[in-house]
Structure 1
Amino acid sequence: MHEQAARFGRANHLTGITGLPSADARSTGVIVLNAGLVHRIGPFRLHVELSRQLNARGFPTLRFDLSTLGDSGASGESLAREQQVRSDVADAMALLRKQAGCSRFVLIGLCSGAQNAHLVAHSSEAVAGAVFLDGYAYRSTGFKLRHYLPRLLNPARVARHLARHVGRRLRAAPAAGPGFQVEFPPQARVRDELTIMLERGLKLYFIYSGGSSWYFNHRRQFGECYGRALADHPGVTVSFRREVDHTYILVGDRRRLLDDIESWLCTHFPQLAPAREARQAAAAT
């Protein structure tokens, strides 16, 4: 495995680290996107460990900073945020295509990185799959029952809730929500975009942690949000890890996550014989 720093992009403004397998590189490249404002190493070096583990299995990787994040500068263009993200990821795909001969790509993102992965996966024909860590989901009736019913049936919890509520009213202070909470797009729009991705043949892996419990609290909630047709689609994999925090701070949690992503990638994007890879690459162009 060989890692190399790269300065690239249409304005030579993006900074990233490519990881190229020593031999038998796959035609599928993996691009890891920023998690919020954290630069390309990821929270607790998550992106570094993930990239190196995937390199060992033959996947070329690129972890990079989007425009104005980390060590990347501005492109100098007047673009809306969504178009800026699309253009930056297109530059990233061009770099891996040039350095490793990749013909298709899998995007991986945590939190806002998952939202950016969704944005690009919906619009780019070069994307063959995506891993969404704490990506989009919506509070369903099932979510509310699972969240509130145990509390209502526990008198001690009810008493604590009332005490907190009265205390806040007396202090006139608003309740604090999770620091990473953002406004999601309309649910119907996300459902339609996921449907389009699956119709194009994308493989999608949705992983929700306990850090997303303010909006997602059970694996079956995915079907409650998007319908059984999406939840049962062979291109969809859903996992809920209630005991894990949002940024995978514990080494054991992080190791299990990396192993699961590796296994998912190897299952859906296996190493093919050279002739077959050439035919697939030609079909993708």
Structure 2
Amino acid sequence: MRAVALLAERPADAPPAVGPEGIDSAGFRLTPETAESLRALDLARVAEAPARRVLILDRPEGRAAALAERFRALGADVEEAPFPDHARLMSSVQHAALDCSAFTRAPAWLAQDVAPGVAPAGTGRTVEAPSPRLRLPGAVERPLRFGPGAGLFGILCEPVAAAAERPAVLLLNSGATPHSGTGRMSVRLARRLAARGIASLRLDLGGLGDSASKPGRRDGLIYCRDMVEDAQAGLDALAAAGHGAAVAVGLCAGAAVALHVALADPRTIGLVLVNPGRFVLGEGVTQEEAIGSAVKPAAAYLPRLTEPAVWRAILRQDRKASRVARGLSERAARRLRIGAGRLRAGLTGRGYARDDVLHAFQALTDRGVRTLMVHSAGDVTLGELEAQAGADGGRLRRMGGLWMERLAGADHSLMERAARERFGDLLDELLDRIGTGATGAVRGQGPGPPEGTGALRVNHATGNSPA
């Protein structure tokens, strides 16, 4: 419990990790009752065997032999085996290995206790098992296989009582995280939406989560151009379930896919982008490469240029300093190129740069797509926003049909509970605007920032009123 509390790093302005309601860490909350139960847990002192058969996989430096003897003394049939892949499996998600021997050993061990099946006498007719469904208060969830060769996977969450004429929500992967979302954020969002009568599909794009690998491409890549087709297959799956229009929601790399599926498919009538690290798709990069290439807004580095240590790092070509300098210079060159394309288009009517985000958002605005863009205060992705639209996204903030929000006290993945709740409120507000055509007050909260006026509302993810 001490380790969980210590590992719960908090962004600036976030509430403390440990409070009267428990411990908040990585998007999860341990209640005081759960924490106390875990503190009291001591497997070496259990009075009964936990099961008739027990498999213990122990890491090389582990000390589970005494535990195995304790279970045997209680009458359990205990099998011990090494767990050589433990360190690789428990590393960061960018390096964690999937080819773990324990994943093969455990099901084989379980199968030893299963009696071989006996074919029933009779006609030999094949009876398909009913489609699995999870029934929750106010919602029903079921898994879907769809897309080419049924290679894509997602969870359709539908309300028991659907709201009339409301679009569904397409929840895309956050970076390379599976469809459940970081800290189960997508699961919680889906069920929150269902409580409001709104259906959703949280899906895994190709090569991520439970979806099949892409031919000729390694798994785990993000910002891939062909993911737009996967997202469109998700729209097809929603349409097959009776949901013709949708709002695409993406965080980090998922935001870039959401943007491009909105550009490609008119069934997307709303768009939510949360901390988009890039706006352009390509052949794909690893999550580690994307993190390593991210550069903050220029203003974040300017004050440090007066420090001699910074110049020494630049002159000796320090890796981090070189990366930042290269990123800022590439950003400046890109802004010049995009600006030249806009000038050319203004004179000739064509010639926008392919990565001109303002042109893309203008096309969505002209089509009537409502867009919400959310950034965590101080997030590194604000650098990409600056590169495309100027400081604080000024050019985008003057565009109709789009409004921007800044979440104080929030990390990149919105793992803070208060930040998630505030984001959920913002998503509700967008859906209400789309569903009712409203541009003013929503649910009695008072008017949001007027679209296209340059207004930027900063929300404190502590439950306070917007500043």
Task: Give the TM-score range, shorter chain.
Answer: 0.7 to 0.9
SS where residue 11 of structure 1 aligns?
Answer: helix
Match of 1:241 among 407, 410, 416: 407
Moved more, 18-27 or 35-44: 18-27
**Higher RCO structure (Cα 8 Å, ≥6 apart):** 1
Shift of 1:268: 2.0
Partner of 1:88: 230
Corresponding position of 2:363? 196
TM-score by length of 1: 0.75
User: Structure 1's 13 and 35: CA in aligned 2 closer, same or farther, altered over 3 A?
Assistant: same
Q: Which residue of 1 aligns with 2:318?
A: 173
Residue 263 of structure 1 corresponds to 429
Question: 1:259-284 deviations in whole A, cap 9, x for unaligned?
Answer: 2212221222249xxxxxxxxxxxxx
Taking the aligned partners of 1:38 and 1:214, their CA distance within structure 2 comes to: 18
The aligned amino acid for 2:300 is H
Q: Which residue of 1 aligns with 2:248?
A: 107
SS at match of 2:185: helix
Question: Is contact 1:218-1:240 (8 Å) kept?
Answer: no
User: How far apart are residue 70 of structure 1 and its match?
Assistant: 0.7
Matched, 1:51 2:190: yes
Q: Could you tell me how far 1:114 is from its partner in structure 2?
A: 0.6
Matches within 5 A, 1:202-221: 202-210=369-377, 212-213=379-380, 215-216=382-383
Q: Is the 8 A contact 1:19 1:52 kept in 2?
A: yes
- 1:63 to partner: Cα distance: 0.5
Query: How far apart in 2 are the matches of 1:106 and 1:77?
Result: 31
Q: Please identify the structure whose Cα radius of gyration is greater.
A: 2
Could you say what secondary structure the match of 1:206 adopts?
Answer: strand
The residue that corresponds to 1:34 in the other structure is: 173
State the secondary structure of the residue aligned to 1:45. Answer: helix
Structure 1 residue 126 corresponds to structure 2 residue 267: yes
Contact 2:172 2:248 in 1 (8 A): yes
**Aligned-partner Cα distance in 2 for 1:75–1:270:** 40
Q: Which residue of 2 aligns with 1:283?
A: none
How many angstroms does 1:241 deviate by? 2.2
Please say if residues 162 and 199 of structure 2, whose CA atoms lie closer than 8 Å, have aligned partners that are also in contact: no
Q: Please say if 1:23 is aligned against 2:161.
A: yes
Give percent identity, aligned residues only: 28
Partners of 1:261 and 1:52 lie apart in 2 by: 13
Q: CA RMSD in A?
A: 3.4
Distance verdict in 2 for CA 1:148–1:131, change over 3 Å: same
Bigger helix fraction: 1
CA distances 1:100-120 after superposition (whole Å, capped 9, x unpaired): x11211100011101111111
Q: CA offsets per residue over residues 45-90 of structure 1, 9 Å max, x none? A: 1111111111111111000101111110036599x942x2222112
Look up the match of 2:116.
Answer: none
CA distance in structure 1 between the aligned counterparts of 2:263 and 2:381, rounded to whole angstroms:
26
Cα distance in 1 for residues equivalent to 2:251 and 2:420: 13
Say which SS state the counterpart of residue 90 (structure 1) adopts: helix
After superposition, residues 136-175 of structure 1 pair within 5 angstroms as 136=278, 144=298, 146-147=299-300, 151=303, 161-166=307-312, 173-175=318-320
Give the unaligned 5+ runs of structure 1.
138-142, 152-156, 272-285
Q: Which amino acid aligns with 2:369?
A: L
Could you say which residue in structure 1 is the equivalent of 2:207? 68
- CA distance in 2 between counterparts of 1:203 and 1:54 reads 18
Report deviation, 1:37: 1.1
- Tell me how far 1:3 sits from its aligned partner: 0.9
Match of 2:239 among 91, 97, 102: 97
Matched letter for residue 318 of structure 2: A
Mapped partners of 1:126, 1:198: distance in 2? 14
Number of residue pairs matched by the alignment: 249
Q: What are the superposed Cα offsets for residues 151-184 of structure 1, whole Å, 9 maximum, x if unpaired?
A: 2xxxxx667x4335536766x5311769xx9x99
Distance 2:399 2:410 in 1: 26
SS in 2 for 1:197: helix
SS, match of residue 269 in structure 1: helix
2:146 match? 8
Q: Structure 2: any 5+ residue segments left out of the alignment? A: 1-138, 218-222, 280-296, 339-352, 438-467
Matching residue's letter, 1:117:
A
Separation (CA, whole Å) in 1 of partners of 2:408 and 2:196: 28
